[in-house]
Amino acid sequence: MMDWTDRHCRYFHRLLSRGARLYTEMVSTGALLHGDVPRHLDFDAAEHPVALQLGGSEPVDLARCARMGEEWGYDEINLNCGCPSERVQRGAFGACLMAEPTLVADCVKAMVDAVSVPVTVKHRIGIDKSESYGFVRDFVGTVAESGCGTFIVHARNAWLKGLSPKENREVPPLRHEVVHRLKREFPHLVIATNGGVTTDEQVAAELAQVDGVMVGREAYHHPWWLARWDQLYLGLPDPGITRESVEEAMVAYMDRQATAHGTPWASIARHMMGLYNGLPGARRWRQVWSDHRLKALPPREVMALAHQRA
């Protein structure tokens, strides 16, 4: 979800679900230790509960960054051991770390010792074409001994060579049964599944087997799906929101961001393009909000024009 789940995207998703846990895009330790920290770590208080996802493989650096995340106010620190991109592999982190469970355990231990918030791990069920259950079982077992109690498992292998990140989300077969088996073997751990879940029926089926479900691209492209989650899965009352009220709230947010930070509305609006997906006029509505010729207009005028066209 690099370049997708930035702070503006997360603010939008929080308007749709008050209880779902939100995750940042992966932030490398190098970016935090040597880059613009506020740009990577700033978030709106409304985003809670929100987790910071880190990418790295040096225990000392990860501990420092985890401490920064806790000081910034994040509710969880998550270590990414699932991204298969070659750029990430060149940094010696992401999915390639699954081949070094002892190193991952050292990284987790360093972070656990540095912070009081939970430290979690997101990973795949395997790397390359080996489908050995023992591989992921031993990975989880080793890392759990270092103090990690929550594992978010993308139910596909990561092929480290020969596939693009997009192909890595499509070509390796989904095997949610492996995640279910992990939960049976490690009942004391929190095990969540990820990958290919696109309907309420699938979520319900997975929650009968594991502790949680992470949804990425489907939630991004069809965000209105989130509006049912609080009632269906978290026992919260119906907030009574509408697509229009969410759009109105985003326009108010755009105004605040422009005043406080000079943020152009287009960099925020790009995340809500799926809000009306499936409804008549949605394509024309998207065309207006994505028309950069209108960027000089106030967002409220753009919203009015979008509804007029739609």
pLDDT (tens, 9 = 90+) of the chain, 310 residues, equals: 777 899 999 999 999 999 999 999 999 999 999 999 999 999 999 999 999 999 999 999 999 999 999 999 999 999 999 877 665 545 566 788 999 999 999 999 999 999 999 999 999 999 988 889 999 999 999 999 999 999 999 999 988 776 777 787 778 889 999 999 999 999 999 999 999 999 999 999 999 999 999 999 999 999 999 999 999 999 999 889 999 999 999 999 999 999 999 999 999 999 999 999 999 999 999 999 999 999 999 999 999 999 999 9
Domain enclosing residue 49, as ranges = 7-234
Within a 10 A sphere around the Cβ of 26, how many other Cβ atoms?
24
What's the total number of domains in the chain?
2
* Same domain as 152, residue 122: yes
One domain for residues 188 and 274: no
Residues 197, 291 within the same domain: no
Say which CATH number the domain at 164 has.
3.20.20.70
Sign of the torsion angle spanned by Cα atoms 114, 119, 124, 126? positive
Q: What is the pLDDT of residue 93?
A: 67
Residues 229 and 305 reside in one and the same domain = no
Among 207, 234, 261, identify where a domain stops: 234
Using an 8 Å Cβ cutoff, are 55 and 30 in contact?
A: no
Position 1 in a domain: no
Pair 229, 261 in one domain: no
CATH of the domain at 294: 1.20.120
27 Cβ partners below 8 Å, 6+ apart?
40, 41, 52, 53, 54, 55, 65
Domain boundary among 205, 234, 263: 234
Q: Which residues are annotated as catalytic?
A: 83
Q: Is 194 helix (H, G, I), strand (E, B) or coil?
A: strand
- How many residues belong to the chain? 310
Q: What is the spatial distance between Cα 135 and Cα 249, in angstroms, rounded to a whole number?
A: 46
